[in-house]
């Protein structure tokens, strides 16, 4: 089955700096890669996703890049703010007939310091 690895496990940045979280996946058939933000005790919130037919996607301060050949994808947050502090999870799945089971990474605790 799919295996998703995520690094780093913790990340501390100064407000205004950029943060980058990286994930690798094992199943070359995976074609959907969402990123979720989870605050303590709350539900995971989808913040951005990318499908394998594109290499990059951007939404304001958040961007995701995908390298299908290397089987890795990354989340980039620019101009970080204290409210960006949370745990971020990457995930991978096979849409359209693969059951869309999400396999999650182990999470990254992002702390944005003033």
Rule CB under 8 A: which residues touch other proteins?
Answer: 32, 34, 36, 41-46, 49, 89, 93, 95-96, 99-107
Pick between residue 34 and residue 84 the one whose CB is nearest to other proteins: 34
Pick between residue 78 and residue 103 the one whose CB is nearest to other proteins: 103
Cβ 41 to other proteins, closest distance in Å? 8
Q: Using alpha carbons, list the distances in angstroms from residue 38 to 22, 59, 88, 89, 109.
A: 17, 18, 6, 8, 9
Three-state DSSP class for residue 83: helix
DSSP code for 98: S
Three-state DSSP class for residue 84: helix
Cβ 78 to other proteins, closest distance in Å? 23
């Amino acid at each position: 089955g799919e295996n998703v690895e995520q690094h780093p496990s913790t990340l501390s940045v100064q407000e205004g700096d950029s943060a980058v979280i990286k994930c690798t996946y094992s199943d070359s058939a995976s074609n959907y890669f969402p990123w979720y933000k989870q605050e303590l005790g709350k539900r995971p919130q989808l913040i951005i996703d990318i499908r394998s037919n594109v290499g990059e996607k951007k939404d304001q301060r958040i961007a995701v890049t995908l390298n299908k050949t290397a089987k890795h994808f990354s989340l980039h947050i620019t101009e970080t703010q204290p409210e960006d502090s949370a745990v971020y999870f990457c995930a991978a799945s096979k849409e359209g007939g693969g059951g869309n089971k999400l396999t999650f990474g182990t999470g990254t605790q992002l702390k944005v310091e003033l």
